[in-house]
Amino acid sequence: MRDRTLETLGLAEAPRDHPLLYPGAWPTDSGLLDGDRLLPLDRLLHEDRVPVLAVGSNASPAQLRHKMAQYGITSPIPMVRTRVTGIDVGVSAHVSLLGYVSASPFEAPDAVRELFVTWLDAEQLAVIDASEGVPRSDGNYRRAWLPAPEVRFELADGTQLPGAYVYVNRHGVLHDGTGAPRTHPGQRALITELLVGSARLRELFGVTPEEFCARARADGELCRRGTRLFKEEKLVTASGLEDRVRAQQTGSPGTGSSLSPPLM
């Protein structure tokens, strides 16, 4: 078998270390993340695990590897390339402590995207939940179940999932100027556009993407001020997925599935 290390595959740089590379390099196909290697998968379905859709850096093997390493978790993670209909990748309405403005899903019935579903065991799911702030009342994301057929998840062999979880930003998403959610163009292009459009944002974060990232990293108060500024300048709209979050929090039907009952 040829060398399958993340370094060899060009997947070794994590956005947490290189924020302007967000969301990081994604694999070209499905694989099994095993330490610092991405191995071929022997199957696409993993009924004993929970399917979680990645729309940002959770589809970066390097970012996932780092998150797991923080908790000493070394078990492999299946990453399955999936054709998703009904969801698009927007811009989270918050500034991350890691120095970037991250991605967040929004409802888009006609959108078709090639994304990754990560299949997580209970321990891995707890790590990703924690990294997204799910357990905290002031966390940036909430995990919600997206059921088919409202959202369609089709694997490479034609298998359709009954649904998957996704992380929905509790602040909302940024809009495109018309009130509709905007798609995420990549970090450098996004920050450049945001800085050009807001003098107040430039006062806080500087005039270049490099300055923005450097000032935001690990400065919690500055990130909170930037997040508030998005709302004050009326740049924020709803993702359309808020009802899914509320349904899960109240335990309404449709928050789980026979394939992947909630583990938390």
Which tens digits make up the pLDDT trace of 15-38? 999 999 999 999 999 999 999 999
Look at residue 257 and tell me whether its pLDDT is greater than 60.
no
Confidence of residue 264 (pLDDT cuts 50, 70, 90): very low
Side chain identity, residue 112: V
Angle, helices 61-70/122-131, rounded to nearest 10 degrees: 100
Q: Which of 111, 133, 107, 131 is nearest to 120 (CA)?
A: 131
Strands 50-54 and 103-120: antiparallel
Could you count the other beta carbons within 10 Å of the beta carbon of residue 200?
12
Reduced to 3 states, what is the DSSP secondary structure of residue 170?
Answer: coil
**Rounded average pLDDT over 88-116:** 97
Distances in whole angstroms, Cα of residue 196 to Cα of each of 189, 201, 230, 231, 248: 11, 9, 14, 17, 38
Q: What is the pLDDT of residues 129-166, one digit of tens each?
A: 999 999 999 999 999 999 999 999 999 999 999 999 99
**What is the 8-class DSSP label of residue 2?**
-
